[in-house]
Structure 1
Amino acid sequence: MPLVIVAAGILVLLLLIMGLKLNTFVSLIIVSFLVAIALGMPLPDIAKTIEAGLGGTLGHLALIFGLGAMLGKLIADSGGAQRIAMTLVNKFGEKNIQWAIVVSSFIIGVALFFEVGLVLLIPIVFAISRELKVSILYLGIPMAAALSVTHGFLPPHPGPTVIAGEYGANLGEVLLYGFIIAIPTVIIAGPLFTKMAKKLVPASFTKTGSIASLGEQKEFKLEDTPGFGISVFTAILPVILMSIATIITLTQETLGIEDNFGLAIVRFVGEASMAILISLLVAIYTMGLARNIPIKDIMNSCSAAITQIGMMLLIIGGGGAFKQVLIDGGVGDYVAELFKGSTLSPILLAWIIAAILRISLGSATVAALTTAGLVIPILGQSDVNLALVVLSTGAGSLIASHVNDAGFWMFKEYFGLTMKETFATWTLLETIISVAGLGFIMLLSLFV
C-alpha cells in the first residue's frame, strides 16, 4: 500500500502542475499533506514533518545556492563568460569549433545554473553559427550536453548539492568523482552524439532557430571584458578550493597522517559554503572593482541573482518536504524492507527510482529529492560509497526529458525544431547523459 499511495500522490502532483497549471511549490506542499494523511501519519505531526523537510533541505542548500547564483551573475554581467567562450573559439579554430563550444560551456556551466548558462550561451552560439555558416544545432548539442552534465553531476549545482546533504556524503568527494564521470560523458553526449543525431534527423540541422524570446542581449566588446585567465580562474575557483581540500583529506586518510591546525584550515576553506563565499569575494574584485565598476552596480547584480532563484529555492524546499513525508510516513523503511537481502546495488537502485520519477515528474531536482526519501533507509544496510549514490541519483534524474520538463520546450523553441526532432535530439541527449553517467559511476565503484 505505501508504494500505491506514493504513486497516487505523484499522479495528483502531475494533475495539479500540468492539468490545473498550479505553481509547482504549492502543488508539492498540497501533495505532501495528502500523502502524509493517506499514509496514516498522526495529524499533529504532519505540519512539523513538512516544516522539518523544507527547513532541513533549504538550511543545507540556501547558502551555497544563493552565493553560487551571485558568483555566476557577476561573471555573466561583467562579460567574463563571453570572454571565455570567444577566446576558446579563436584558439580552437573553425575546424575544432565543437570542442571550443564544449570546453567553454563546461567551464561556464560549473559557475552558472543550467537555465542561466543556456540563456547566456545561446546568443553566442547563434553569432558563431552565422559567422562560420555552420548549423546552430551542430554547436547547440555540445553546448547543451556540457551544461546538462555540470548541472547533474557537479556541486554547487542544486541537484548534487542537496542530495549530498540528504545522504550525508562528502561534497568534495562528489565534486571530485563528478569530474571524473562528467568529462567522458560530455564527450559522448556532445561531439560524438552530434554525428549520430545528424543521421537520425538530418533536417533538424538545417533549421535557423530563433532567440527573439530572449529579448535584447547585453553585448560586450571583447576588449572591454575581463581577461581570459582571470575569468576562468574566477569561474572555477570554488572547484579548485573544494578539490584541493578533498585530495588532501583523502591523502591524509590513506597515509594515516595525524590531524593538525594546517589541515583543519584547508578543510575549512574547502567546505562548499566557505569556498563559494571566498570565490564570490574574489569575483567582486576581479569582475567588478578591478574594472572600475561601482560597488552599487556589483551589488545590484547580486540582488538580481537572488531574485531569479527565489522560486527555485521554494520548489526545492517543497521537494524536501515531500521527501520527509516519505521518510517519516514509513515509505522509505518499506522500500528498505523490500530490498533487504537483495544483491541490487544502492547505486543502481537510486538511478532506477530517480529515472522513473524524472520521467513522471519532469523536474530533475524534485525527482532526485523524492528518490532520497526512498533510498536513505537502504543506505544503512550497505557500505556503498555515498558520493557515488549521489551521482547515480543525479544521473537518473536527468533521463528522458520530455514534454513535462521546461528544458524540452526551451531547446525546441530556441533551435526551431519539431516535436519529433526535439525527441530525437534533446530527449535522446539527456538519456545518453543519464545512461553513460551510470556506466562510468558503476565502473568507478570498482575502485573506490
Structure 2
Amino acid sequence: MIGQKSILTTIFHYILMNICSMIGLSCYILADTYFIANGVGSDGLVALNIAIPAYSVVNGIGLLLGIGGATMFAIARGAGDPEKGNRIFSQVLVIAAALGIVFSLAALLFARPVAEMLGAHPSILPLTEKYLRVTMGFSLAFILNNVMVAFVRNDGKPNLAMAAMLSGSVANIIFDYILVFPMKLGMFGAALATGFSPVISLCILSVHLIRRQNRFHFKRPRFSFEELRRVIGSGTPSFILELSNGVVILVFNMVLLSISGDTAVAAYGIIANVALVCISIFTGIGQGIQPVVSHCYGAGDLASVRKALLCGTGLSLLCGCLLMGIGMLFPEPIIAAFNRENDPVLSAMALEGIRIYFISFLFAGISIVLTAYFAASAKPFPSLTLSLLRGIAAVVPLALILPRIFGLSGVWAAVPVAEAITLMVGAAFYLKSRGKSGDSTAS
C-alpha cells in the first residue's frame, strides 16, 4: 500500500509495474501486426492500420473511465473518505458496462459502414470489416478491463494489474499464432485472438475480488453529476491521448494514400504500431506516478508529489534517448520482422520513416509524464491542453502542411515537431505553476 514503504521505492515499484502493464496492452495490436503481416500479407497490414482508429475509441473510453475514476478514488482514499471512493467506483462500473454493451452491438451491426468511413477501399474493405466486427464485438471486455486494471492498481496492487495485462498479451500472442497459422483463419483469427485477451486479463483481476483484498466495493450507485464531472475531467487527458492515436493514424493514412498509395500506408503501419509499444513505456511511467501523486496530493504531501514528478521525467528522458538511438542505429531488423514479402519500396519508406519518427521519443515521454502529473493532482486544464496539443491540435495541422513542403519526409516529421511544441508548452505550464505557488498547478 502507498505509505507503507519509502516514497522512492513506492514510486519506482509503481512505474515498473505499469511499464510492463502498458507494454502488455500495446502488444495486443503489435502481435496482430506481426502475425497479419506474415500470415495475410501487406493487404492485411493496410486493413489493420485502417481499423485501428475504431479500437482507439473503445480503448480510450475505457481509459477515460478507468484512469479518471481510479484517480478520484485514490484522492478520496488519501483524504480519508472511503465511502466516496466506493460511490465513484460504482458509478464508473455501471457506465462502463452500459457503453461496452452499446459498442459491442454497434460493431455487429455497423462494421461495414464504419470500415468505409475509415477509408477502406473495395479491395481492402472485406478484411477491414472482418477485423472490426470481431475485435469491436469484445468492446465490453476491453472497457471493463481498462477500468478494473486502473482500480486494482490504485488499490495498492500494481503487481496484479501487471500480471493481468501481461497474461492477456501472452494469450494474444499464443492465440494469434494458433489461429492465423495452424488453423489458417487469417484476419478473423487475429481479431479473435485480440478479443480474447481482455477476457483473460479480467479473469486474473478477479482474484483481487475473490480474495476480498479490494478496498473498493460496488454499492447501489447514486449518480452525482459533480463526481462524474471530476472523473471525466481527470480521465479526459488519457482518453484524448488514446483517441489521438486513432485520429493521427486516420489523418496519416489519408495523406499517405494521396502521396504514395497503399505501400506508404503499410510502411506507416509498421512504424505506428512499433511506436505504440514505445509510447506505452512513457504511458506506463505516467500511469505509474499517478497513484502516488493522487494519494499524496489528497493527503497534502506535496514533497512526495515533487519526488514522483522528478522520477517520472528523469526516467522518461533516459528511455526517450535509448529508443531514439535504437531507431537511428537498428531500423532494418524492425522492418524485416513485418515485411514478409521483402518489398524494397516498403523497406525504403519505413527506413526513412523510423529514423525521423523516432526523434519524437526524445520529447514525448516528458510531455506524457507532465500530462499525467497534472491530471493526477486534479488539475485538468494543463493536462487537457497538453493532450490536445500532442494528440490533435499540433500534429494534425503539421501532417497536412509539412508534406506539401517536404513530401513523404514531411509526414514522418510531423510527429517529432508536434512533440517538441507540446513539451515547450508543458514546461511553460509547470514553470508558471511554480511561480504562482511554489508547486501546485494552475487549474
TM-score by length of 1: 0.30
TM-score by length of 2: 0.30
